[in-house]
Amino acid sequence: MLRTANIRVGNGEKTMKYKSVIVTRRGGTEVLKIIENDLHAPSSGEVRIKILATPVCQDDIAARVGNRPFLPRIPFVPGYSILGIADAIGEGVTNVAVGDRVAALTRLGGHAEYILLPEEKLVHVPETLDPAEAVILILNYTVAYQVLHRYARVKPDDKVLIIGASGGVGTAFLQLGKLANLKMYGLASSGKHGTLTELGAIPIDYHTQDFVEVIRQMEPDGVDFVFNGMREEYIARGLAVLRRGGAMVQYGGPQSFSRFLLLLAKFALFNLLPNGKAIKGYGTHRVDINLPKEDWLVLFKLLEKGKIKPVIAERFPILEAPKANKLLESGKVTGNIVLLAPELL
């Protein structure tokens, strides 16, 4: 039933429909379907947002396929982050007005034409920013920024290895790492090395080169940090190139609950060993919501000043999410894929 009591809106409230992309069962892109929904008015404290931009990320794919320890219940709308225009506000909303451009880390629900979110989850986005670029900051650049500056606390001239350097988070690491004056090594397939070099990293082809051997030759004392966004299988080899006193940060999620428990056990055991190395885990769900809001403002300023620029491989209409998912799963993408409202294409 449409809720209409005590609603403040821009041009009146109408009973409307909107479309979203849902996951109907675990599986490949064939399980993604477009459905039509009633467009509800926001409840107290909520903001209704017309979505302008939402990325497709690896966590969206993992949730659909089932490669995560904690999975959303079927059916669900994927979409880890959004940027859009507030088009209706509920009673008690004081910091967002109709017409404001806002963004949020949603974890679910972003691959749709509209979304309802609590006011406290939203951050204001400068009107001068390209929505396709700005929305990428909400997840991928936030992960990289927080790992670099809140977890690792990197310093100029630190030496780092980025495992999975050509993806959305990897290219964010490279741009932010370059700003922090880090010496960076990046793992990626050979066809993506040009981007890594352009972004300031020394590329290593994980298909044809033993990165442990390469880094041991170039950095005999080891690197200061390893950032792993790929499978757990890279953990042991990543630790092998760390110097004493160095640390690895694992930000890629394990593929099942049993592997999650095994990963926790490995972390605990390794951190007890007297080898002078540390291993940490990072996840956006473990971060207080106020910290991303602070970091989003920093990242927006960097984007405004042209100091960072997200690498966008493709832009699709929101309702072409299945096609975008298929492209991301191909492994041929450098950077990010973004879904956009039709008027932005």
**In sequence order, what are the beta bridge partners of 23?**
32, 76
Q: What is the pLDDT of residue 241?
A: 96
Handedness of CA 35, 68, 233, 284 (dihedral sign): positive
Cα–Cα distance measured from residue 32 to residue 22, given in angstroms and rounded to the nearest whole number: 6
- Are 51 and 89 in contact by the 8 Å Cβ rule? The answer is no
- How far apart, in whole angstroms, are the C-alpha atoms of residue 176 and residue 308? 7
Mean predicted lDDT score pLDDT of the chain: 90
Burial of 86 (0-12, 13-18, 19+ CB in 10 A): buried
Query: What's the pLDDT at 269?
Result: 67
Q: How far apart are CA 211 and CA 198, in angstroms?
A: 20
Nearest CA to 155 out of 186, 178, 173, 181 is that of 181
Q: Tell me which amino acid residue 32 is.
A: L
For residues 250-270, give the mean pLDDT. Answer: 64
Who has greater pLDDT, 206 or 114?
A: 114
Q: Which of 233-247, 266-280, 321-335 has the lowest average pLDDT?
A: 266-280
Least confident of 187-191, 230-234, 276-280: 230-234
Beta bridge partners of 317: 340
Phi, psi of 152 (to 5 degrees): -80, -30
Q: What pTM, to 2 d.p., does this model score?
A: 0.90
Per-residue confidence (pLDDT) for residue 233, from 0 to 100: 75
1 pLDDT band (50/70/90 cuts)? very low
pLDDT digits (tens, 9 = 90+) for 12-62: 556 799 999 999 999 999 999 999 999 999 999 999 999 999 999 999 999
The whole-number pLDDT of residue 10 equals 47
Q: Which two tokens stand for residue 10?
A: 């821009």
Q: Which two tokens stand for residue 174?
A: 């490279």
Determine the pLDDT at residue 3: 32
Average pLDDT over residues 223-251: 89
The top-scoring range by mean pLDDT among 6-15, 58-67, 152-161 is 152-161
- Domains of the chain and any CATH numbers: 8-125+311-344 (3.90.180.10), 138-285 (3.40.50.720)
At residue 260, does pLDDT exceed 70? no
- Strand 223-228 relative to strand 159-163, pairing: parallel
296 has pLDDT over 80: yes
DSSP helix/strand/coil, 147: helix
Assign 262 a pLDDT band (cuts: 50, 70, 90): low
Q: Where are the beta strands (DSSP E) in the chain?
A: 8-9, 16-23, 32-39, 46-56, 81-89, 101-105, 114-118, 123-124, 159-163, 183-188, 201-205, 223-228, 242-250, 278-281, 312-317, 336-340
Residue 76's pLDDT is what? 97
pLDDT class for 2, splitting at 50, 70, 90?
very low
Residue 9, pLDDT above cutoff 90: no
In terms of C-beta density within 10 A (0-12 exposed, 13-18 middle, 19 or more buried), how is residue 140 classed? buried
d(CA 132, CA 246): 36
Determine the pLDDT at residue 265. 63
Average pLDDT in the 165-179 region? 97
Query: For residue 4, is pLDDT > 60?
Result: no
Distance CA 249, CA 282 (A): 7
Q: How confident is the model at residue 195 (pLDDT cuts 50, 70, 90)?
A: very high
Using the predicted structure, report yes or no on whether residue 121 has a pLDDT greater than 70: yes
Q: At what angle do helices 321-329 and 58-65 cross, to 10 degrees?
A: 100
- Measured in residues, the chain has a length of 345
